[in-house]
A and B are shown apart, each in its own frame.
Chain A
Amino acid sequence: MTALSETRAGRRAGYAFRPPASLAIICLLIALAIAALIALTMGAAGIPLARLPAALGLWTDATPAPTLARDQLVLWSIRIPRIAAAAMVGALLATSGAIMQGLFRNPLADPAMVGVSSGGAFAAAAAIVITDSAIGASLRFMQHQLLPVAAFAGSLVTTIVLYAIASRSGRTSIAIFLLAGIALAAIANAGIGLLVFVADDRQLRDITFWLLGSLSGVTWPKLAALAPVLGIGLVACLWIARGLDVLVLGEAEAFHSGVDVERLKRISIVLVSAMTGVAVSVCGVVGFVGIVVPHLLRLVIGPAHRLLLPASMLLGAVLLVGADTLARTIVAPAEMPIGVLTAAVGAPFFLGMLLRQRGLVSL
């Protein structure tokens, strides 16, 4: 009896149970709604759940007018843009991680870890310093618009260099990929260090503000850069999903199966760079979201990208809304940089992943 059940358990190992796609998406949407609700009520100025509908303008109740006015101010000009930004940044980072992992056929790829975020951060820091100096003074009025563009360009250059170094005749070496990523991150960080060195006090505050990775400065105009990239990203993700699936067979085999591999690579690289760059331009380098989220999802819903990419968007949003809520409450009234928080949780997770795969991944 015992022997029989043991063999059954043994046989079951390696079998995949995949929940239906609609169920997964619905669960994630519910989780996002709950996370957003909690985030709305918590913070330096607490707004109990009972007062929330009135503050949101859904219906009026007995809340005294001054309290209502204060609640509305907190919600609409601080908390809602911030939650929206956290959700969108989380979605962008998690999805760009998932795309990058698909592109490199490597579950350990993460834009923050291999220098793509740092490249974006360096370009954005350079944009801050230049627009603030005499040379770029004429561009100062459009600093808000320039920052995401610069970050995108920085991320794009880094990703292209990384791909050129790590891929050789259609094969990507995991070891070279990770090592090159570390080197590129170091170069970008050295550049950032140099900028910090030459920056004056005001620029320095601007730079360090988001280098730490914080969502505290988010305003409605900043969201304007995030939303279109997220929208385009979602559509593009569904478009490249099948190609990324087939790419798991290797570039040659994907080509044999009818995938235009070169085009797929170009689209993926631009997409990863745009998503990472824009996210970085809003809140600095937030690591490990891109690696933790797709990995967790693959365990539950499987690796097929048509579901994995949208699901990564949702779970990334949930995770970062949660992390941001935590960041602004655990040391209230001060605030923990969110990058510190995600690294504190994500890095041990990553190490755990490495330990589990030690026998499977050959570098």
Chain B
Amino acid sequence: MSALLEAQAISMVVGGATLVDGIDLKIDAGEMVAIVGPNGAGKSTLLRMLSGDLRPTRGEVRLKQRDISAYAPRQLAFHRMMLSQHVNVTFPFTVEEIVQMGAGDAGRAAAQPLVDAALAEVGLSHFSQRQLPTLSGGEQQRAHFARVLVQLACGEAMHGPGLLMLDEPTASLDLRHQLDLLEATRRRRARGVTVVAVLHDLNLATLFADRIVVLDRGRIIADGTPPEIITDAMLEQVFGVTGAIGRVPSPSLPFVLPHAMAYNSAAVPDVEKLIAEILGAGGAAAGLRDLAHRLGIPAGLREIGMPEAGIDRAADLAIADPYWNPRPLKRGAVRDLIARAWAGEPPAAD
């Protein structure tokens, strides 16, 4: 059986930076997939490409064996429903009006039962006549989720169970509503809906998904069931933390309690090569961030010549000044700086 959604070697390159690097991914009908990974791993970019919103610079996304860019937007909306991370409504639409937008150009009367049901499901029936911008962030998020549920129901009526894509759907929700949303997605899944969600919370991903895809720097580095994925090695490699991994008794699922940064001594890089990269490539800020990441040190560089120049160990922050100009820096100065940082010494005073 061929996959419902299939990405073939898709890449996204924006201004020389590769956000997503040649990803192959197959998602079968009825699966519940969570995409996890550190900040800036390319999760949202990947999801936007899978949803047909962003066109990959290379590769192709196929939905139901058809190139996703070949669908007209209206047609596509009946097959896949996507909830973006930040939806900011400027005009005083009511909650009900926003949720109705999920019904497309179906008549208002025809959509009303669906709208009412979705509002009840997210627990916003009593707010249906409130203006959306006056609600809290979490309530707005739930209203948008209700809107997507209405879209899902409309699509299901026409083409069968759809593909639901969620970008950080629980980001601004309290614990109870996180579980509520999880339950709502599970109920859809039981009816045959396929779900793909970008999630930050590993524990939620474990509860939520039967398959977790781990993304790091634009590449898939692990893909499997939650027990296969949630391991000490993955935590250390991808997130740079160590944590206690426990188990919920029934059903036996792993959970994570991160408690420390990992100082990954095995990953001491070729400093000479890194310096060459930083000084040569012009992308100083990105290079520095990468350096700090690879070294696994909670420190970074500040602009040379400033009074507080050097590495601010006390702040425990990796700082890469985007306006930092590497040219006046001597190769030796950088090497010295890194060596001192590594040894935990304060920088030499200029």
Contacts and interface: CB of A to CB of B under 8 A. Distances in A.
B130 A260 contact: no
Contacts of B83: 256
B90 A258 contact: no
B140 to A, nearest CB: 11
Interface residues of A, number: 28
A106 B144 CA distance: 20
Interface stretch (A1-9, A10-18, A75-83, A130-138): A10-18
Interface in B118-165: 129-131, 133-135, 144, 147, 151
Q: Which of A106, A250, A261 has the most CB of B within 10 A?
A: A250
Interface string B294-311: 000000000000000000
B84 A252 contact: yes
Given A15-B129, A16-B130, A257-B101, A249 B89 contact: yes
A16 B94 contact: yes
Contact of B84 (A15, A253, A304): A253
Contact of A256 (B53, B89, B90, B129): B53
B28 interface: no
A144 interface: no
Interface string A232-270: 000000000010011011101101111111000000000
Interface string A81-108: 0000000000000000000000001110
9 contacts: A249-B101, A250-B88, A253-B82, A253-B84, A256-B53, A256-B77, A258-B74, A260-B74, A304-B93
A51 interface: no
Nearest to B96: A16
Interface residues of B, number: 40
B334 interface: no
A298 interface: yes
A242 B84 CA distance: 20
Contact of A252 (B48, B89, B92, B93): B48
Interface residues of B, dominant DSSP: mixed
B78 interface: yes
B84 A256 contact: yes
A106 B59 CA distance: 36
Contact of B76 (A13, A249, A258, A298): A258
A106 B90 CA distance: 7
A16 B94 CA distance: 7
A315 B82 CA distance: 38
A303 B133 CA distance: 12
B105 A248 contact: no
A246 B100 CA distance: 10
Contacts of A255: 52-53, 73
B81 interface: yes
A258 B92 contact: no
Contacts of A346: none
A16 to B, nearest CB: 5
A250 B84 contact: yes
Sorted nearest first, the 10 A-B pairs with minimum C-beta distance are A258-B77, A14-B134, A303-B91, A256-B82, A258-B74, A260-B73, A16-B94, A105-B90, A246-B101, A253-B84
B101 A107 contact: no
B190 interface: no
Nearest to B105: A242
Interface string A327-363: 0000000000000000000000000000000001000
A304 B134 CA distance: 17
Given A298-B92, A302-B92, A304-B93, A245 B101 contact: yes
A47 B282 CA distance: 78
Interface in B48-68: 48, 51-53
B22 interface: no
Nearest to A108: B90
A248 B92 CA distance: 10
Contacts of B135: 14
Contact of B129 (A16, A245, A298): A16
Nearest to A13: B134
